[in-house]
Chain A
Amino acid sequence: MGERMVHEEEKLEGFETRILGIKDEIAREEFTAKLTRIRKEIRELRNGLDLLDKVQGAVSEGQKELADEVQEKNIKEGEQVQNNLDSPNQIDRRRRLGTCGLDNKSCSTGVFASGHSMSADMIRRYSRQLLVPAFGVSGQEKLSKSSVLVVGMGGLGSPVALYLAASGVGKLGLVDNDVVELSNLHRQIIHTEGFIGQTKVSSAVSACLGVNSSLKVKEYGNGLNAANAVQIISQYDVVVDATDNLPTRYIINDACVATGKPLVSGAALGLEGQLTVYNHKNGPCYRCLFPTPQPVSTRQRCSDNGVLGVVPGIIGAFQALEAIKLASGVGETLNSRMLLLDALSTRIHMVRLRGRNSECVSCGDAPQILASNLWEYDYERFTQSTLSEEEPKPQNLIAKEDRVSAEELQKYLESGKAYVLLDVRDPHEYAISSLSNSLNIPLSSLKEKLPVLRSALLDSSGKLVNGDHSVQTEQLVEDDRRGWFRMSGRRIN
């Protein structure tokens, strides 16, 4: 009985082993079949995707040509995560199309839907800006729907226009009535040698479109004046003052206040720069700060006082930044604050400014200058200067008979008679060019250096080098306009 039981048990175990073997076999077969099916499905999927690729490839032929290395690298960085989800073909497609992996039309409904209105071209072009968290897609979209007017295509306006064009502002207006000159090129970097003699606006438009052909740009070659300011400025969201003269600065300010536009104001001279945003968030306007124009005699101009090219470049770049922030609604702008740059020692002062003046004739509670009457305001009379950086007529020159003309001087020098030619300009001006055998004593130090002049005038015997021609050092005449002193080389016959 016991033996039989053992035998039966062994038989049973044998059955069980066989059954398990069969089960395994069935499972393996089922698994293999499943695998084959899955492989087949994958193959079909791939074929389908290849077909899709071909169709899309034909559609986005032009886009593919524009694909660049930058984009390639950008996608690779973000690829890692997506790799787990997508077939190699999908990855490849996304790489060619742009960041979200779907073309424009399907983007809003697809897996990578973003709801924005940017084309694949825009995403590619502005990708580095889109990656800035504080700016991003919403900043770029607002910027691309905004318009900025830049008044002045000089040292400040050059970087402003270029950066705004490059960054993708919706509409750019450029104002200037000047032509490009050789002496502009050291700082007005938007212009090139080929444009010398042509208008600055046409040169600037060409440069901006060269950077971004998708830009909408409008040129105003007649400059800004009281008659056209309100009409032009009212068409823009943000205004940049990159001009070089006082009356235009007041016109731009008043027109911005009258039409409610924020004004990004910059200035540069020598090795100094200033920057602020007027008429924004209850901050002051230009008139709040400077209700009375600076006296004519105290003003300095680039053409008199010089300017290191990079200084307006820095301030202009800052202006572009403020304009981009205003247009995109991103960040904090410079309203009620002013940036002062001392480029010589690389120091920046950030200064807190007064608020809006309720009695200001432009932005006050009872303004006198309005959109309706701005055109009749006499800005040239108010500032006592013309609407250009052009040299105004000197007001207080010495009498003609007290002057020596260049021809007269040459004749005299050639006559062989003894003379002392005194040049009272500053040493850096004298170093640029001077007449040979001249004596340079800057006017500011003339009084203390009179003995030097006296000894130059006397020959070895102690007599005047030329008895009948000499210089009267007392004849100091102030040139009212520039606040400079000039000296007459008066003859005493």
Chain B
Amino acid sequence: MKLTLEFGGGLELLFGSVKIHKVDVPPPEGETKITVKHLLFWIRNNLLKERPEMFLKEKSVRPGVLVLINDCDWELCGMTEAVLEEKDSVVFISTLHGG
């Protein structure tokens, strides 16, 4: 499944300082759907270059990271259980405090 992933708020540093990644994520074996939970595993195993604890905590993102599916808060779409569709955009953004 072709997805556009975007990392911001400093998270891009964990992905070779590249903000936008066009990826092709295969669904889990024997399934056709891809959930955000599966995407997180896939990112950790295929995309994350360093320090996974800066991005993930247990089976979700670490506190302070907002996940946006097609520019919509993932809380409104089922969080880790949200089902993704072809060409969806998923943004992971770390909250900023600077001023």
Determine the chain A residues whose CB is within 8 A of the CB of B26 once the complex forms: none
Complex contacts, A444 vs chain B, CB 8 Å: 49-50
**Do B10 and A305 touch (CB < 8 A)?**
yes
**Chain A 313-354 near chain B by CB (<8 Å), digits 1 or 0:** 000000000000000000000000010101001000111111
* B97 contacts partner chain A, Cβ-Cβ < 8 Å: yes
Residues in A whose Cβ lies below 8 Å from that of B66: 289, 338, 351
For the complex, count residues of B whose C-beta is within 8 A of A.
27
Taking a contact as CB atoms under 8 Å apart, the answer to whether B99 and A298 are in contact is no
CB pair B71–A269 under 8 Å, yes or no, is no
Of the candidates B19, B49, B64, B76, the one whose C-beta lies within 8 Å of that of A298 is: B64
In the complex the two chains form, what is the Cα distance from A246 to B93 in whole Å? 16
Within the complex, the shortest CB–CB distance from B27 to chain A, in Å, comes to: 27
Q: Give complex CA distance A312, B98 in Å.
A: 9
A262 lies within 8 A of chain B by Cβ: no
Q: Are A269 and B98 in contact (CB under 8 A)?
A: yes
Which label, helix, strand, loop or mixed, suits the secondary structure of the A interface?
A: mixed
Q: Does B88 contact A (CB under 8 A)?
A: no
For A319, the closest partner residue in chain B by CB is: B99
B51 at interface, CB cutoff 8 A: yes
In the complex, how many residues of chain A place their beta carbon closer than 8 angstroms to a beta carbon of chain B? 47
- Hey, which chain B residues are within 8 Å of A305, CB to CB? 10, 98
Nearest B residue to A267 by beta-carbon distance? B96
Annotate B64-95 by CB proximity to A: 1 below 8 A, 0 otherwise: 10101001110110000000000000010111
> Which of A267, A342, A350, A483 makes the CB contact (< 8 A) with B97?
A267
Separation in Å of the B99 CB from the closest CB of chain A?
4
Task: Give chain B residues whose Cβ lies under 8 Å from the Cβ of A340.
Answer: 8, 91, 93
Query: Closest CB of chain A to B9's CB: distance in Å?
Result: 6
CA distance A378 to B34 in the complex (A): 41
Determine if B22 is an interface residue (Cβ-Cβ < 8 Å).
Answer: no
Contact of B9 among A245, A274, A351, A483 (CB under 8 A): A274
Q: What is the CA–CA distance of A157 and B99 in the complex, to the nearest angstrom?
A: 8
- A270 interface residue (CB < 8 Å to B): yes
Given known contacts A293-B63, A352-B76, A269 and B96 CB-to-CB distance under 8 angstroms:
yes
A242 touches B63 (CB 8 A): no
Q: Point out the residue from A157, A345, A351 that lies within 8 Å of B68, measured CB to CB.
A: A351
Q: A268–B64 contact, CB under 8 A?
A: no
Q: Which chain A residues border B72 with CB–CB below 8 Å? A: 351-352
Known: A272-B8, A274-B9, A298-B54. A350 touches B95 (CB 8 A): no
**Which A residues touch B68, using CB under 8 A?**
349, 351
Is A154 a contact partner of B99 (Cβ separation < 8 A)? yes
Q: Is B33 an interface residue (CB 8 A)?
A: no
Give the distance to chain B from A326, nearest Cβ to Cβ, in Å.
Answer: 19
With beta carbons under 8 angstroms apart, the residue of B93, B94, B98 that contacts A302 is: B98
Q: Does B21 contact A (CB under 8 A)?
A: no
Q: Within 8 Å of chain B (Cβ to Cβ): is A300?
A: yes
Residues of B within 8 A of A338 (CB): 66
Minimum Cβ distance to chain A for residue B45 (Å): 19
Closest chain A residue to B66, Cβ basis: A289
Q: With an 8 A cutoff between CB atoms, is B62 at the interface?
A: yes
Q: Are B73 and A266 touching (Cβ within 8 A)?
A: no
A272 to B68, CA, bound (A): 16
Q: In this assembly, does A243 line the interface, its C-beta being within 8 Å of a C-beta of chain B?
A: yes
A270 — which chain B residues lie within 8 A by C-beta?
10
Are the C-beta atoms of A342 and B19 separated by less than 8 Å? yes
Which residues of chain B have C-beta atoms less than 8 A from A292's C-beta?
A: 63-64
Measured between alpha carbons, how far is A306 from B53 in the docked complex, in Å?
Answer: 23
In the assembled complex, the Cα of A483 lies from the Cα of B8 at a distance in Å of 17
Does A298 contact B73, Cβ atoms closer than 8 Å?
no
In chain A between 219 and 249, which residues have their CB closer than 8 angstroms to a CB of chain B?
242-246, 249
Q: Does the CB pair A272–B96 fall under 8 Å?
A: yes
Whether B91 lies near A274 (C-beta < 8 A) is no
Closest Cβ of chain A: how far from B85's Cβ, in Å?
17
Cβ contacts under 8 Å, A168 to chain B: none
CA distance A301 to B8 in the complex (A): 15
B21 to chain A minimum Cβ distance, whole angstroms, is 15
CB distance from B72 to the nearest CB of A (A): 5
B75 — which chain A residues lie within 8 A by C-beta?
354
Contact of B73 among A291, A299, A300, A352 (CB under 8 A): A352
Footprint of B on A, CB under 8 Å?
152, 154-157, 242-246, 249, 266-270, 272-274, 289-295, 297-302, 305, 307, 312, 338, 340, 342, 345, 349-354, 444, 483
Q: A289-B95, A353-B73 are in contact. List 16 more A-B contacts (CB 8 A).
A: A157-B99, A249-B97, A269-B96, A270-B10, A274-B9, A274-B96, A294-B62, A294-B94, A301-B98, A305-B10, A351-B66, A351-B73, A352-B71, A354-B75, A483-B51, A483-B54
Q: Which 10 A-B pairs have the closest CB atoms?
A: A294-B64, A269-B98, A267-B96, A292-B63, A354-B75, A156-B99, A244-B99, A302-B98, A269-B96, A354-B73
